[in-house]
Each structure stands twice: as C-alpha cells, then as structure tokens.
Structure 1
Amino acid sequence: MKNLVQFLFKGAIFFGLALSFSAGLHSCRTDDAIQDTTVLGPPVETDPPETDYTPAFVGQTRAPGVSTTMNYTVEAISSGLNSPWGITSLPDGRLLITQKGGTLRIATAAGELSEPITGLPAVDAAGQGGLLGICLDPNFTSNRRVYWVFSEPQAGGNLTAVGRGVLAANERQVENATVIYRATPAYAGTLHYGGRILFDRTGHLLISTGERSDLATRPQAQDVGSALGKIVRITTDGQAAPDNPTFTQGAARAELYSIGHRNPQGLAIHPETGDLWQGEHGPRGGDELNLIKPGANYGWPTITYGIEYGGQAIGDAIQQMPGMEQPVYYWDPVVSPSGMTFYNHSHHAEWRHNLFIGSLSGQHIVRLVIRDGKVAGEERLLAGENQRFRDVTQGMDGALYAITDQGRLYRIY
C-alpha cells in the first residue's frame, strides 16, 4: 500500500506540473525572447529516494524531465588544469580559473592555458579547502581587480576568507593581494567552506560560507553571532553592506544576509529579476536549491529533507517549521550541486534564463527550467563524461564553460 501511495503521489506531482507548465508556456510575455519548445517527460531521477519525507508542495522535487531540442556541441578543450574550483569570464573572452592548490590560470576559448598565476595568500588545501570561488570587479577593464574566496590557515584551525588583488598587466601574478573579510570563528576542520562569491546589482559582494560540517559547528548556522553557514554581504573593502537586513536574535553580525545554510557552493543572480539563487550541499538525500530572501532563515540543521550519511535522522527529523524557508527544489538522492549560472545569451534561445548547475557526485550538469520562481523541468547534460562538474559559467561568446575536479575544461556551444 505504501508503494502505491508513493506512486500515486509522484504521478500527481508529474501531471500537476505538466499542466501548470503547459499553461505557463501560453502566458509568456512576447518580449521575453525565450523559445519554449519544451516537451515534458518523466523525472530524470529514476533511483529510489533515500527518505520517505513528503515534499511541502507539488514540484519541490523530481520535476518533469525536459530535453534540449536544438543542436549544440560539447568539447573537452583542455585537460591540463590542476583541481580547478572556480571559473569566470574575462572581458576579452578568455576565462580566469582558480586551482585548489592556490594559483590561477587563464584559458582561451580554444583551451590554451597560461602558466600558473601566483601572488595570492597561502591556502589550506586539505580536504575541501583551498582556493575556491572567484569574481571580477565590475570595473575590471579599468582597475583589473579580482576577488576570491579561500580557506585561510589560522592558529589552531582555518576559516573561509575573502581576498582582493590586482591581476598584473603581464598576467603572471596578482599584485597588492589583501584579505578583506574572514568568516569567523576559525575551526580545526577540512570540510564545508561554502566558497562562492559574486557582485550584486548594487556593487556589493555576496559570499557563501559553510558551517564546517561537524556536529560541534552545525548549530552555528543558526547563530547570528557567527559567520558560519551564512550568506554574507559586504562592501569591496570588506565592511558590512550598509543596507543589510537586521537580525533580531541576539547580537547579530551586520554582514549577514541570510542564515541556516549547510555547505552552499552555488550562487547566481537571475538576469531578468535580479533574484539571488543558491545551491546547497545537503546531507544524504537533502541537496537544496534556494531562492534567497534578505533576512531569511533556511533552516539547517533544524529542518532538512536529508538524513545522516549513516541513515539516522537529523535532529527531530523535521522538514517544515514556521519562520524557516522551504527550498524551491531538493534532490533525493543527492547530486551534490556546486557552481552555477543562469544562461542569458541569444545564441541558445531555448536555454535563455535556464539555470545550469555543476553536479559532483551526480557527474553531470543540471539544467533547470525556472518559471515563476519554481522549477518546471530538469535535464541532465554531459552525463556520459563521467566527470565531477565543479563550476559552470557563460562565456562572452554565448558558450557555456565548465570545469571538473579531474582537471578538464569543457566548452558547450
């Protein structure tokens, strides 16, 4: 009987979403320039879930499957990177890439790699640490300034830190490197640094930090006096952005933008709405996609759709609680979502405003069709490459570029 109920529930999710998505296709604005040729199919996930938790709403997990109808090519243009972690596009069409060990590389659209770029502060590259996310200053063309996230060694431990420096004209080193922000407290661990960074539309920096994984540090995701397990928003000098939300629970840090996160390794801003979206590594069966609201609490570790890796319940096994946000979408089993980007180029009109997410344990790139703040369809790209996709970005040429833990750089065009 339980299997029958689950089957009927999943069927209701599929057909309910199919109806709502089809209706959405007819209501798209004519000026949106999005080409909707999508055909809905069964969910792309076919393995049984790790939990028997009930979603909060239809479509929160296992959305209908979709398939790209246009022609595109996939090229592994380089295999010479050393544990790449973050990638961003330079104004001239080349790509700036972080390597976990502490250096940068520049890659051309043909896959030619520069020598390692040095001059950054020392990193603690053990475990999940190292040189992580990167972004360019909005005025990079004139000031050549770059910002990056890294795991910084500290006395008795390490922490997630933000650095700033200038890419030298000879592109061999970063000059005037300085640390502008540290997500304290430090901890003697090697996991869950978060590590993504980007500029919002007001010129402030958004950074994701992890809660450092261990049972001892998990509660700090709910502690507004700690920078662990948060999205923080700072100025380019590392100070709290002046219009940040106010948290009233205790002596809250002024740099906090949202709280209650586990290990957020994806950040992207929707090119049309300006909304901030975030991908988060959950425990077993609880990876999340969140639409971030300033001042909101995303629940970890109080609520979650996952369980411990050993199969035990987390806390009181609660999935919903007043005052805590629900994920827009979750994966069960997990896909391990990492870096992500919205596609916003006319070259592939079918993909415009779709969200692309690198999947580590899933070994593919997730394509999500987003409609009205919800996931309306999901596709798995490059699943046959057997690569752990760490980050993905849109190039100046309209191609998608993706890096993998195994050192490959892909061009999808």
Structure 2
Amino acid sequence: MHDTLVINCGSSSLKFALIRLSSQETLLSGLAEKLFEAEPVLTVKSAAGKQVVKLSEQGHAEAMRGILGVLQEQDLLSQVSSVGHRVVHGGEFFKSATRIDAAVVQAIRDCIPLAPLHNPANLLGIEEAMKAFPDLPHVAIFDTAFHQTMPEQAYRYALPDNLYQEHGVRRYGFHGTSHQYVTQQAAKLLGKPLEDTCLVSAHLGNGCSITAVKGGQSVDTSMGMTPLEGLVMGTRSGDLDPNIHLFLSQTLGWTLEQVTNVLNKKSGLLGISGLSNDCRELEEAKNQGHAGATLALEVFCYRLAKYVAAMAVPLGRVDALIFTGGIGENSRFVREKTLSHLGILGFHLDPEKNAGMVGGQSGPITREGGPVALVVGTNEERMIALQTREVLS
C-alpha cells in the first residue's frame, strides 16, 4: 500500500493523519497536545473509534514515538511510503510543494523571521519525522506557495522599494492549501473546468482569509506578510490603521510586543464581544441578547462581505463564493448575514439549503439565476497527501 503520513507540527502540539492515496481515505488521524505541560496526551481517531494515549515524557520527540507506537499497534507502520509536512512560510523561495533536502531545510530556516512562531515548530516536526522515517521521502507543502502566482500589484506594499528588495516586506498570504483544495472541489460541483472559473474562497475558522482564484491560480488574498492582515478573526484584529501601534504606545505606555500581542491574541471576535473567540458561543449569546456578541458577529460578517466584493475586482466576474473552515462550513447565520450584504453582486440565499448545509456537507446555498454561493468542506491533510504524491511522481 502507498500511504502518506501528514505531519502538522505546532509549538506545543503535533497533528497527524495517515492518508491512503489510492482512495484518498483517512485511515488514522490524531493530535498530540499539551506537549510541555504536566500531562501530555495523544488522541487518535480511526475506524475503530477514539483512543487516548498518555505520553510518558514532554516534547515533540515523545509525541512522534507515540504516533509510531499507534501505527505499529494498528499494523500500519510498514505501509507508510512517504511523509508530507505542512510548513507555514516559504517566502519567495517556494512556489510549490518540494521534496525536503538539506537546502530546503536551510531555506525554511531562513524564513523564520517571516514566521517566528510557526516555522521553528514546522522544522522540529521535519527533524523528528526524518529521524523516525530516515529511509522515506519527505515533502514540504507551504501555506504561502499557492499565493506565489499573485501579480506584483497585488503583493507589493506601498513602502520604500528597498524594504521589499532587501528584507522581503510584501504580502505572502496563507491558508493556501485549503484555498487550493476547496476551489478544485468547487469547480467539480459547478461542473466547469477549473481553468475556466473565477472563484472567491473564504476560509473561516479561528484564523480567516479570503482569496480570489482565477483559473485555479491565486490572484489576490486578504492575509499579508503575516496572518494578521485582512478579515476579522477569532482573536486577531485583521485590518487596522498602522498608527494604532504608536497611539497605544504613547497613550498606555505599551511596548511594541504588547501591542502586537493584543492585536494577535486578544482582538477579533474575542476583543469586540468581551466573551469568546468561538463563533458557536457568540451565536448562542447573541440569541440571548448579548450586545457584545451581536456586534462582534455583525462586524465579522460586514468585513467579510466587503472583502468578497473587493475580490471581484481582480477576477472580473464571480462564478461562486465558497464558504469553508469551521465557521464557513457550520455557521448558517454567518453565511446568511454575509450574503445579505452582497445584493450588489446578485446573490440570493436559499434559506432551506443554507439550513441543511452543516457538519461536512458540500453544496450550493443560493437560488438559481445569480452567482452561486457554495459550502465546501476543506481537507488540508488530503491536499498535503495529494501534493506529496505529485512531487514524488
């Protein structure tokens, strides 16, 4: 069998999935978390059900040993033929998935200043997996690679040229694997060749981004040099006046790090509502009359709708708007509210279809006679496995 082990390594967690390439079936998936707390744990899901394994030591090496143990236990270890790694930032080095060698590892290391929270963890995952599977091919799949097709007018900031030329200050975009996967699926649902589609893809979770995809290629996106730019997110502010840094520093005496921490971890839905970054909790609170929750959701949907309209500019036309990610796939309210702002583009919601589109369902939620809005379940692990196969073939 040819099965790909997909590794997504975070700073204190390690997410994995074993994908059978012939059927694109997920045989096994799981999450090792709390890796530097008192009781690190590995949770595994398979056809046999859910299994929780207590890890005896802290750290990523122990998590990898735990994953190997589970694969061995389920007689799957010998079937692993390749390993695909999610890497957040590939800068301008990588325009597609790439087989990992010493030069690739160094290039990922060189991108650490662009993603100081993510790339070191991704490298750690690569190192541990290469120790565990020294004889297998390893492939890096970059969140930023899909957006390397953006034209210069879309990715450049209006800053002095040397900041781009010497320091790489530009817009890179993220969630590329998800946007690529759902636009391919949307083309199938529309019954059109991908090369002949103009799609707006909205990936809405705790992190949110929106991408204009023309003929299967990213031509613009909402996230920038870092994942902070663009839409309102769970705890991130999205777009704001850059002088707010100076104002908060002068008014409250905050350091640059303190301001950045607030914008990344205490803003967004959490900041406005004062309650939660979880859309489900906010919708429940809104239904009970909570003013902060109501405003947070209103701002979220309004900003999203503005970005959808903006993405029509590079596309020229909108064949379909795609909702994906945890919020996009499950929040009927967010979809309805967002489309209510988009009458200018001719969207007409079908309330019945919208109500039925939850829990992994994919399909249209609009009436005929205008542009289509679709819900499409994302599967980044499957996309990583498919890209791994593509590189190795």
TM over 0.5: no
Q: Please give the TM-score of this superposition, normalised by the length of structure 2.
A: 0.31
Counting strand residues as a fraction of each chain, which structure ranks higher? 1
Relative contact order, higher structure (CA 8 A, sep 6+): 1
Q: Please give the TM-score of this superposition, normalised by the length of structure 1.
A: 0.30
